[in-house]
Amino acid sequence: MGPFPLLDTAIEIFPRCPIITSRSSYGRRSSHCHLLVTTVSATRNWKVSYIENLQSKPKTVVFSSRDNSNDHLTDLVNDADGFTTGRSEVLETGEDEILAVKKALLESQTRQKAVEKERDQLLERLARYEAKQKEYVATILHDKELAISELEAARSLFNKKLEESVGEKFALESKLVLAKQDAIDLAVQVEKLAAIAFQQATSHILEDAKYRVSVAETSAIETSYEIEKQIRDATEGSMLSFLEQSKIAIEKALDVAEKASVHAKKAMATFTDEVYPLDGIASIQSENIKLKGVVNELESHLSLARTDVDNLKLELENARAQATASEIRAKNAEKVLVEFQELSREKINQQEGEIKLMMEKIKKDVADKKKAASKAFKVELEGIKSAIQAAKETAHSKDSAYMRRCEALQRLLRASEAATKMWQQRADMAESFLLKERTMGKDNEDAAYIVNGGRIDLLTDDESQKWKLLTDGPRREIPQWMARRIGTIRPKFPPRKIDVTEISASKFRSLDLPKLEEVWSIAQEKPKVGDALIEHVIEKETIEKKRKALERALQRKTKQWQRTPDQTKLEPGTGTGHEIVFQGFNWESWRRRWYLELAAKASDLSQSGITAVWLPPPTESVAPQGYMPSDLYNLNSSYGTEEELKYCIEEFHSQDLLALGDVVLNHRCAHKQSPNGVWNIFGGKLPWGPEAIVCDDPNFQGRGNPSSGDIFHAAPNIDHSQDFVRRDIKEWLNWLRNDIGFDGWRLDFVRGFSGTYVKEYIETSNPAFAIGEYWDSLAYEHGNLCYNQDAHRQRIVNWINATGGTSSAFDVTTKGILHSALHNQYWRMIDPQGKPTGVVGWWPSRAVTFLENHDTGSTQGHWPFPRDKLAQGYAYILTHPGTPTIFYDHFYDFGIREMINELIEARQRAGIHCRSSVKIYHANNEGYVAQVGDTLVMKLGHFDWNPSKENHLDGNWQKFVDKGSDYQLWLRQ
């Protein structure tokens, strides 16, 4: 934006940020910032306002003018849509405001100069960087040209050597025939070996035979080459000697011919000069004689040479004939070999057909066995169902019998009370009658009478009246339990007195008997141990316990039967969506033979409802816990040998459990020191060097590219941008999947490298489940946990996004919030949108919830979960979406295993999975209430709440777990 050409003008800049706020689907926010510039003129009372959107939005200019006549301000606003609006208002300006505006203008100009200076410096640095880049490009092009020239020179040398080898090949072709006979013998041996191989019908013996054939062919070629070399040397020697002798003879003949020509010339000269010297003629004749002898000798040598040549021709013809015969034999051998191969192929096809038939038969038998097993299981299932139904009917019948008995007892009690009232009335009538007789003057003052069934009996005193009532009294059969009760109170009663004289003569006067209301209150007392009713109640409770145990066993058996290897994945990185992970180790597990101990617990874990077990790092490591790996292919670690690891994984697979391997990809410990004493030379099957280490790792002098994440300072950080590094890691992961048997990964310290590399590794190794450890610090203020943790869970979601959603991640946000929320701060467990406040609220299918692991708990205790809140913590993660993780120490050492099993059973009965919906009803200081899915409601805290009393919760809700103020669970019936 350029300056305004206004005289005596001050510019005031006001930042307006932010005015537009938006949130993405995963909580990301974006804002637009505007800049407001206001210009005030001191002389003409003009005020110019300029609003600019910093993100290239349409500009808005506001001009304000003051009318001198009426001091009214008129503004003209021109926006991006072309509309013009006017308004008038009163403005007042003063000298202080003008000075402040001028001061602001000077400061803005100073800042502008500083920005321009910084921009010039940046441009200068950019120019230097571009010059350096051009220099690097020129160097690279020069190196490329040198490499191309060296490549061309090497290519020409190779062509030259190739031509020489071709020439030698043509020279040696005639001598290869002798080696073919050996090849035929070797073919016979090969045929024998092949026969043995077909008898054994194993592929590895055939490969060994092929290897021996190739070795034999190689030896035959080498032998033929040696023979041809010997023949060539011999032939060349004989030819060279013959040529040498011929050359010497020709030279002698030429010498003699020259001498003869000289003498002839002399003779001609003599004849020409008519001089006839006899001595000259004699010498010429002698020379002629000698010349004839030399010619004869030369002819004899020539005849001998011709004879040798003829012999050589004969030998050559014989050699050619032998070569032809050898070729014919070789062709016959090849033909026999082809026939043998055809026969072998036919035998192999026949065997393959037999094997296919056998496999089809085996598959059919397996299918029949599976059908039979399925049928047997269905029969067994029906039997169990019928047994459960019979148990239910028995319990129902006993319940009805118990209710009928209770009703009969109530009727009996009412009848007893009525009879008591009747007898009381009769006694009162008899007493009044006898008292009346006594007042009329009878002599026997001590006599007493009582009405008994229409007759009056004489009693000795008042106590005998109670005894009479107990012995004769209501005319009904006394129940056995009442008789036993009365017998325990008064086991011995006085004999029944019928005769009046006998009664008068009896010495018995009084018994310590219970009162009348005490006797008949026995029917109202609760039954005790030994009574038929309490025995029935105990039997009913026992039957109910057996019925529940049968239902749980049936549910677990049905669940195990439904688990099949070809279960369809919902999405990558989430398994089946119903996974429950068990961390199968702690920080001290390396001190024992851990694989063998863990394998023995496979059946126990499977029956508890766990679906996946997270194993410790398997590789050789500098630290015994396994998190400082060195040789990745050496699986003999502190936890056990490679064979013990395979045995442990096989035990897990036999119980339908996934085995998750803890793989450390961010760093690796070196085996050797470099010449300058730095540990950056790796050994084992992956012998990397400093080029495999990132260059910004300050301790290990790496020569790779800069790291794509945070630096782990304890070991060399691996540069995953190198092609050979990624290739080796993918081969290693596939080896762990296919040869060792791991089903998925727990990825250690994924903050150290980009999630895009994790995506490549997961797509190559294709795990059933993957978890990344993205451990980051939460937000705190003045030592207290902040309520808003969106930035923390956003960083975890960003990493999951970088993997393309192929991997899950530990929900560290939820763990940190639960630390504070369970201490009567349940309001932390809901965000402003009404969702859970961790990663489970934004992306539940990729959130792996946990309370403790080997780092936070165990003997390290870096961030331990409050021990008195473990029950509430597991009640939360095991009833909410996401993938819950159970720590080894909690399950086997803390005494809460039954509680965890009960929560797992509730999760399975309600059908909760990693994508289940959550509706939070309450989250305050008193407690937390949420409905998960359609069939489960859970409550944390001490306040009173019941789903049956809520109008918005339809259906019949039955309490499944009641742990008081800790937590309560309800299931919809």
Q: Annotated catalytic sites, by residue?
A: 748, 773
> What residues are paired with 166 via a beta bridge?
none
Closest CA to 588 of 860, 368, 945: 860
Enter the tokens of residue 269.
């000269």
Tell me the residue length of the chain: 973
* Tokens 């969106």 belong to residue: 790
The H or E element containing residue 184 is helix 177-200
Give the count of beta carbons closer than 10 Å to the beta carbon of residue 644.
19
Q: Within the chain, what is the greatest distance between any pair of CA atoms?
A: 233
CA dihedral of residues 218, 224, 226, 229 (deg, nearest 10): -140
- Strand runs labelled E in 533-632: 581-583, 612-614
> What residues are paired with 837 via a beta bridge?
none
Please check whether residue 906 is in contact with residue 879, taking contact to mean a CB–CB distance below 8 angstroms. Answer: yes
Closest CA to 797 of 832, 844, 855: 844
Please check whether residue 91 is in contact with residue 73, taking contact to mean a CB–CB distance below 8 angstroms. Answer: yes
* Distance in angstroms (rounded) separating the CA atoms of residues 55 and 49: 19
* Distance in angstroms (rounded) separating the CA atoms of residues 662 and 126: 45
Burial (CB < 10 A; 0-12, 13-18, 19+), residue 636, is middle
Burial (CB < 10 A; 0-12, 13-18, 19+), residue 598, is buried
Beta strands 883-887 and 581-583, pairing class: parallel
Single-letter amino acid code for the residue at 971: L
* Distance in angstroms (rounded) separating the CA atoms of residues 191 and 338: 11
Please check whether residue 872 is in contact with residue 967, taking contact to mean a CB–CB distance below 8 angstroms. Answer: yes
Closest CA to 101 of 198, 12, 226, 1: 12
CA dihedral of residues 525, 529, 533, 539 (deg, nearest 10): 150
Please check whether residue 246 is in contact with residue 224, taking contact to mean a CB–CB distance below 8 angstroms. Answer: no
* Distance in angstroms (rounded) separating the CA atoms of residues 260 and 287: 8
* CA neighbours closer than 13 Å in the CB half-sphere of residue 419: 19
* Distance in angstroms (rounded) separating the CA atoms of residues 174 and 321: 11
865: CB partners within 8 A, 6+ apart: 815, 818, 819, 851, 852, 856, 857, 873
Compute the C-alpha angle 956/961/966, nearest 5°: 120
Burial (CB < 10 A; 0-12, 13-18, 19+), residue 840, is buried
* Distance in angstroms (rounded) separating the CA atoms of residues 731 and 261: 90
730: CB partners within 8 A, 6+ apart: 760, 761, 764, 765
Please check whether residue 1 is in contact with residue 35, taking contact to mean a CB–CB distance below 8 angstroms. Answer: no
Reduced to 3 states (helix: H, G, I; strand: E, B; else coil), residue 566 is coil
Single-letter amino acid code for the residue at 194: A
Enter the tokens of residue 731.
């081969």
Give the count of beta carbons closer than 10 Å to the beta carbon of residue 706.
11
* Distance in angstroms (rounded) separating the CA atoms of residues 574 and 164: 64
* Tokens 């945070």 belong to residue: 710
